[in-house]
Amino acid sequence: MYAGCDLGIVSAKAAIIDDSNVLALEVLPYKGHPRQAAVEVMDRALAKAGLCREQIEYCVATGFGKKAVPYADEAVGDLICHHRAIREINTSVRTVIDVGGQSFAAFNIDDNGWVSETAVTDKCAAGSGRFIEIMADVLEIPVEEMGGPSLVSANPATITSQCVILAESEVISLINDGYNRFDICAGVAVSVSGRIISLVRRVDLNEEVAFVGGVAKNALVVANLERKLGLKFAHLAGIDPQVVGALGAALVARDERRRSK
């Protein structure tokens, strides 16, 4: 049995696999205490798989808080884990867009399966999952309810600020000016999509394109990106896009143990 933990800034993810199957995938949002979140998410995954910690042969940690995962045997970078997972899930993918809570990245995979180009930013939360969460809090709308009417908004509000603090003030002003909250939600999605596209343009956009990370579960952002990029994102074989990093970490753990035997 092999495990992976992807400890981000707003959520912890865990994956457990054996030699040929995915046994458990788990996501745990959290506000603080990353070490505790890493333990809890793995405990939940173990319970789902009907396993105990001692049955895990090797565990790899990844993500923003990878060094805080107390039970990991090794820490590996995000890009390596996402690349490994995508190669397992869908070998047709040639560009990967990864947008998490704090940072976002894009990279290309050549015909031989190697990473050929990368672009990464972690200097600003604008365009990230944390940005969306902050805007949702201001709007007093749960993140998971930001879709619905916003998907068909004919008048998305314009949000010009890239700084999270200034954008928050801008959204408050829009609310005070009487803007419909779902039009503001649509405006947030447009703003986030624009930031993501500015990064994606730093690499070649080669189809098929996979969108992974927690923001890939936001229907508003997905719809905006697909429309602006003129494509449909690749299928991930039913895998939750938020746990791709954790799955990749588990696959790396399995690869490591196989190489050492």
Query: Above pLDDT 90, what percent of the chain?
Result: 56
| Predicted local distance difference test score (pLDDT) of residue 137 | 83
Mean pLDDT of the region 75-82? 96
CB atoms within 10 A of CB 173: 10
Tell me, what's the pLDDT at 187? 86
Mean pLDDT of 177-189: 86
pLDDT higher than 60, residue 125: no
Asked if residue 166 has pLDDT above 90, the reply is: no
Q: Characterize the bridge pairing of strands 115-121 and 95-99.
A: unpaired
231 pLDDT tier (thresholds 50, 70, 90): very high
Domains of the chain: 1-90+236-261 (3.30.420.40), 92-234 (3.30.420.40)
pLDDT confidence tier of residue 124, bands split at 50, 70 and 90: low
Instruction: Report the pLDDT averaged over residues 174-181.
Output: 87
Please give the mean pLDDT across all residues of the chain: 89
Lowest mean pLDDT, pick from 26-35, 122-131, 225-234: 122-131
- Residue 66 CA to residue 78 CA, distance in Å, equals 9
Check whether 160 has a pLDDT greater than 90: no
Q: What is the pLDDT of residue 122?
A: 61
Q: How far apart are CA 38 and CA 6, in angstroms?
A: 8
